[in-house]
Amino acid sequence: MSLLSLADIDVRSKRALMRVDLNVPLDTDGRITDDTRIRAILPTLRHLLDHGGRVILISHLGRPKGISESLRLKPVAERLSELLGRPVQTAPDCIGEIATRQAADLKDGECLMLENIRFYPEEEKNDPDFARRLAALGDIYVNDAFGTSHRAHASTEGVTRFLTVRAAGFLMQKELDYLRGALTHPKRPLVTILGGAKVADKIAVTERFVELADTLIIGGGMAYTFLKSQGEEIGASLLDSEHIEFAGGVMERAKTVGRAFLLPIDHIIAKSLDVSASVQTVKRIPSGWMGLDIGPETQTLFTRAITSAGTILWNGPMGVFEREAFAVGTAMVAAALAAATDRGAVSIIGGGDTAAAVASLGLQDRMSHVSTGGGASLELLEGRMLPGVAALER
């Protein structure tokens, strides 16, 4: 199946209903603290507006239970207007008489942002009548919200039943090209780095890449379950006791199929996350201590594998990177990926915390691709069908 490209559509004077993911972080005063997701949609939005399209943006913000004044999209529209260099109108609702009139009154090259789609529970329920009313606002549908494409919601799947012209935006297409490319025709060697806290979150992707990758690297909190499966003492480190057997089985599978499987060989530890807590670097974790980052020998081990890679796929930090004392491992891995990319490797960052870490280090522009979808990227890499993508296929 293929996706319709924006280049194949005459959008002039057409009302383009465009699903975007502008679920940006806000501080306590409602100010945007990271506008990465807003910037990511600019190429698609500019294309539509510059070609005479009349764009109606659909997005969610946060997890509202009904209408929430603090989660209205006006600040997002204002920031988008600044970045776009032209006005972005706002609607007080996402359906209804006023929104319908505003959408109908748009002129070529104008943009309207509907109110937070998740103010309506019908969105996540994929209610057919709600989807129909939403679809009635537009003539064509463009999905540039890869981060929500793993959900069959009214604005990602339901509306496509009522609009015959459905296209992927440039961001959506880029996400699919990079992530699917890592699965089907990666530049070898393929090195996959998995981190974060929970083994349970990455079972399927671990199983898949132990078959596909040349080298599989495990770091972060999830590494301690793998170490425990090999009989190592992990002290009070994070342990997913329900998946010890799984971890051991994956390592056995790696041996069987001849894949390199790297785990931490030293650790940065503490008894708590308290700022005043004593921090040590050790090879064996004593009782009562927690492994909170990879140690310097592990950093060297992982960096060596990254340096020789043709493609690197990274999902999950190496430690509690939000704390300075435990951020070095993540920073070293990020720097190694940036250097490898500079030498011609393809680097793909799997979104979520990993993308945030790379951004905090100012290295996002030195990566080949930083995904905007944490859960969506993980599900795609697992080999699962994404409803929002399937709804665009022809």
Catalytic: 202? no
Of residues 158, 164, 107, 105, the one with CA closest to residue 133 = 158
Residue found under tokens 């310097």: 296
Burial 269-297 (b: 16+ CB within 10 A, else e): bbeeeeeeeeeeeeeebeeebbbbbbbee
Of 15, 19, 37, 72, the active-site residue reads 37
pLDDT reported for residue 285 = 97
Of 138, 220, 352, 388, the active-site residue reads 352
Q: Domains plus CATH for the chain? A: 4-171 (3.40.50.1260), 178-381 (3.40.50.1260)
d(CA 294, CA 266): 6
Of 46, 187, 198, 208, the active-site residue reads 198
Of residues 61, 39, 50, 60, the one with CA closest to residue 16 = 50
Catalytic: 52? no
Residue found under tokens 């599989």: 216
pLDDT reported for residue 374 = 82
pLDDT reported for residue 352 = 80
Contacts with 252 (C-beta within 8 Å, 6 or more apart), sequence order: none
Which pTM does this prediction carry? 0.92
- Tell me: cis bond preceding 189? Omega within 30 of 0 counts: yes
Catalytic: 228? no
d(CA 322, CA 96): 43
The rounded average pLDDT for each run of 10 residues, N- to C-terminus, in the chain (394 residues) is: 86 98 92 92 98 98 95 97 97 97 98 98 98 98 96 97 96 95 95 93 94 97 97 96 97 96 98 94 97 98 98 96 95 98 96 88 95 89 93 87
Catalytic: 37? yes
